[in-house]
Amino acid sequence: MDTQTLIYLFVGLSFTMYIGIAIWSRAGSTKEFYVAGGGVNPVVNGMATAADWMSAASFISMAGIIAFAGYDASVYLMGWTGGYVMLALLLAPYLRKFGQFTVPDFIGTRYYSKAARVVAVVCLIFISFTYIAGQMRGVGIVFSRFLDVPITMGVIIGMAIVFFYAVLGGMKGITYTQVAQYCVLIFAYMVPAFFISFLITGNPIPQLGLGSTVNDGSGLYVLQKLDLVLQDMGFGAYTDGSKSMIDVFCITAALMVGTAGLPHVIVRFFTVPKASDARKSAGWALVFIALLYTTAPAVGAFARINFIETVDQTEYAEAPAWFKNWEANDLIAWYDKNDDGVMQLAAGDAFMGKPSYADTTGTAGQRMVTNPPNEESANEVYVDRDIMVLANPEIANLPGWVIALVAAGGLAAALSTAAGLLLVISSSISHDLLKSTFRPQITEKGELMAARISATAAIVVAGYLGIYPPGWVAQVVAFAFGLAAASLFPAIFMGIFSKSMNKEGAIAGMVTGLVFTFSYIAYFKLVNPEANVAANWLFGVSPEGIGVIGMLLNFAVAIVVSKMTASPPLEVRKLVDSIRVPRGAGDAAAH
């Protein structure tokens, strides 16, 4: 059976399974739609949380970022995994004990204010749509390459699949679908990693292979070889970093705190029976996530070695089939600057901006690009880093079934997170805006219908953003985390641990953090991207890490405003105590 047939088979079977699970677990009430009935087992919930969390960014992009950035990309590993520890210890059990459906629900009740609830919904929508645009684009890229359809059609197919199991099944359908998706994506990530680790080092365990010697007789370790090869080509050493210490700290902290403030992750802890199960869920999720995250550095290093050995100094006429396949999708480009017909990799950009193709071919047979070459750089090859995980099995000449498995895994990763985000958006509109704010008299049946309608509308908007993504959304997934860190996290944290924080302080803090962080990111990524250099950054902090500054501003403004306004009512202070004090503690103290 040829590779393309296997891809159709694997993707078709996985989609059939997802839709079947959604139909089997169709939500029949608002509680099942929002929080899966609140009775999900902690292990199952941990697996679903891991799938929700490990998006297209984790599966497709992270190893590609590591492959090209090396040491600098360690901020993603530290920030995203560290955030789960913070979530498990500081937030998950308390939010579950509070017993509401959504993050705006918690903020609206804790801060005794409809205005606070509405501000939280606005923050949530900014975060979720920023995040989801990249997921839908990832779906389009995978479909485009592996199913041989245009990226636009790939996004539309992905929208249809998500519609079935998100709109029909709600959180109940999504939870059990995400368990299946986790199994698919982790198997799809680990199998080629085992193969490639064995081919390069002789050790099939990628985490150990990264610290092993290369199978080329040189006696060099993997990272030693990468350092030497890249330095010979004019790049910096793979194990050296170029970011300043303050920027590394801020990006790591923004990713970590942003993890603890992401609404589609937090809502997962409302789906378990009790508070202790929320902490167990976070622990299990960390275990399941660690399987992929501890493998990603090895996958990135192996991918960079394979890419260099396969492409550099290779005649274009004899380029491998995978190179031509990705070139046809405009994700790899070559321009023969010295007219020798040989592809040359070096430090620097091959083109002035991302290349776009014309219909004609060059003298050496390459597809011509409309973007002019960067003559100051000796590099002739452009490669989109997002293809590295998807192309890795083809580069390493692995069997067709492994390539098909990776295609199914990439789609599972993108669709699982997209579904979780869409549900968060729909529940914030139907439950937080309609039921809790503007139409409290709405029936449960009417609320469920509103949730499905808003989910459908959110899918359409997400699909549009996937087809026409803002460039900055696709570039760095850290922006969504920065927005979450700067807006929702302080309000949640102070809502749990500060009895004196009032509604005026929380609202002022959320607005300040969101406006500052979004404006900073928009300026450097949309308004004036040429100015996006360290010399122009505030305190030397890049847009990826600015969420930490936004978070500190949020805390400062909230505390100052709360000191200048009335204290929270007595019943709210008692509510905060009840969230933090273990059940039965008062009785024990009395005896």
Per-residue pLDDT of the chain (591 residues; tens, 9 = 90+): 777 788 888 888 887 877 777 676 555 545 545 544 455 778 888 888 887 777 777 777 788 888 888 888 888 888 877 777 777 777 777 777 776 667 788 888 889 888 888 888 888 888 877 777 777 777 777 777 777 777 788 888 877 777 766 665 555 566 777 788 788 888 888 988 999 999 999 999 999 999 899 988 888 899 999 898 888 888 888 888 788 889 999 989 988 888 777 766 777 776 777 767 777 887 888 888 888 889 999 999 998 998 888 888 888 888 888 888 888 777 888 888 888 888 998 888 888 877 888 877 777 788 888 888 888 888 889 888 878 888 888 888 888 888 888 888 877 777 767 776 777 777 777 766 777 677 777 777 777 777 778 778 878 887 887 777 655 434 446 678 888 899 989 998 999 888 899 999 999 999 999 999 999 988 887 788 788 888 889 998 988 899 999 999 999 999 999 999 999 999 888 888 887 765 544 444 443
Please list the alpha-helical segments (H only) found in 202-244: 206-209, 222-232
Q: How far is the C-alpha of 388 from the C-alpha of 63, rounded, in Å?
A: 7
Q: How many CB atoms lie within 10 A of CB 434?
A: 18
Q: What are phi and psi of 360, to 5 degrees?
A: -90, 170
User: Are residues 46 and 376 in contact, defined by beta-carbon separation less than 8 angstroms?
Assistant: no
Q: How many CB atoms lie within 10 A of CB 325?
A: 17
Q: How many CB atoms lie within 10 A of CB 397?
A: 12
Q: How far is the C-alpha of 478 from the C-alpha of 385, rounded, in Å?
A: 16
- Residue 357's DSSP bridge partners are 369
pLDDT at 529: 79
Q: What sign results for the dihedral spanned by CA atoms 43, 44, 49, 55?
A: positive
Question: CA-based angle 282:286:288, to the nearest 5?
Answer: 115
Residues, the chain: 591
User: Are residues 279 and 46 in contact, defined by beta-carbon separation less than 8 angstroms?
Assistant: no
- Tokens standing for 138? 């990832």
* Single-letter residue type at 359: D
Q: How many CB atoms lie within 10 A of CB 348?
A: 11
Q: What sign results for the dihedral spanned by CA atoms 243, 246, 249, 254?
A: negative
User: Are residues 497 and 106 in contact, defined by beta-carbon separation less than 8 angstroms?
Assistant: no
Q: What domains can be seen in the chain, in order of their start residue?
A: 3-58+67-303+399-467 (1.10.4160.10), 332-383 (no CATH)
